[in-house]
Amino acid sequence: MTQPTVGIVRTQSFTFAHPPHAMTLDSGVGLGPVSLAYETYGELNADRSNAVLICHALTGDAHVAGYHAGDDRPGWWEHYVGPGKPIDTDRHFVICSNVIGSCMGSCGPSSINPATGRYWGLDFPIVTIPDMVRAQRELVRHLGVERLRAVVGGSLGGMQTLQWAASYPEMVDGIIALATTSRHSAQAIAFNEVARQSIMSDPNWKNGDYYDGVRPDLGLAVARMIGHITYLSDESMHVKFGRELRGGAFAFNFEGDFQVESYLHHQGKKFVERFDANAFLYVTKAADYFDLDLGNPESPARRALAGTAARFLLVSFTSDWLYPTYQSRQVVDVLKALGRDVSFCEITAPWGHDAFLLPDERLETVIRGFLGGLHGC
């Protein structure tokens, strides 16, 4: 049976902060103009109260649902967004934008610096999760929305949802944070640093100035291989690959005997075809910098959360060892201590961190139920 879809969609662009009115970043640097690639689905209702913002993960993009003309690949969350689906586009006006610092249509190091006419490269300023949310707010207001029914996201997208609640508590009715954390652990930072070093050690990286020549594909591929291991679980890798050999016997060389090795090489090769090495440095650094400091009673984020009327839903997955359940529970415990309306669900799933991207009836149910309970929607 064919699933309903939002159909053919197109990515749009919004630009703001034109000089001299630059957007001030957390680093103190002014960035402008700022461009965001975004897509929308469904219709904004008369009182502009049905908007849902979806935030993508580390290397995602604005194409969350539907199909681009001439492309048979659906959006990355097609199973969850569309007519009659958990995020129902017959009822909600859905927005998804690509984060700044990325390379999927929004401004980042692979964009042209209008002041020089050359690629930004490492001259692009470091951006943070709050910077990304600050830019999203400009887009939301540009679309005529002053209050969001919900902000939804997983992984890096989940960090953005929590930042929305901390930065603009008066603008959000509901927060759905999936497979995420309020701060990166030392282990998560360590994995990101090894991935970044693999890029910066590639001789073709050239301190980020490679756009007119050969790109650091090998370094970026290895970075993706490292990251991809953290997205899976031991169980899922065992089920998919075990110790299966490609040729049925050891080859006694270093070309890759095991199926799992072949899989990781394939993932790395696919990734370099769609993503930029410098952008990978920027988005991983933003993730590492993220820290709501919720354990500190005087932190700005905790004070903001204490005053919000938003409802919260946090979801973790049993086999996620990148952002394990205890990290979601830490956020839940703080929200409960602050007297906020918070629900929590741990879903048993064998697929590791990537479980939030995969079809799951339990996740469908909790998302649908949570959105349905917001102001009687």
- Residue identified by tokens 């920027």 is 282
Q: Which tokens hold the place of 280?
A: 């990978």
CA distance 21 to 23: 7
Q: Which tokens hold the place of 224?
A: 């993706």
Concatenated DSSP letters for 172-192? Answer: BSEEEEES--SB--HHHHHHH
Can you say whether the dihedral through the CA atoms of 152, 88, 148, 333 is positive or negative?
Answer: negative
CA distance 156 to 286: 9
CA distance 180 to 229: 17
CB atoms within 10 A of CB 174: 23
Which H helix or E strand runs over 343? strand 341-347
Catalytic residues: 155, 320, 353
CA distance 319 to 328: 13
CA distance 163 to 137: 11
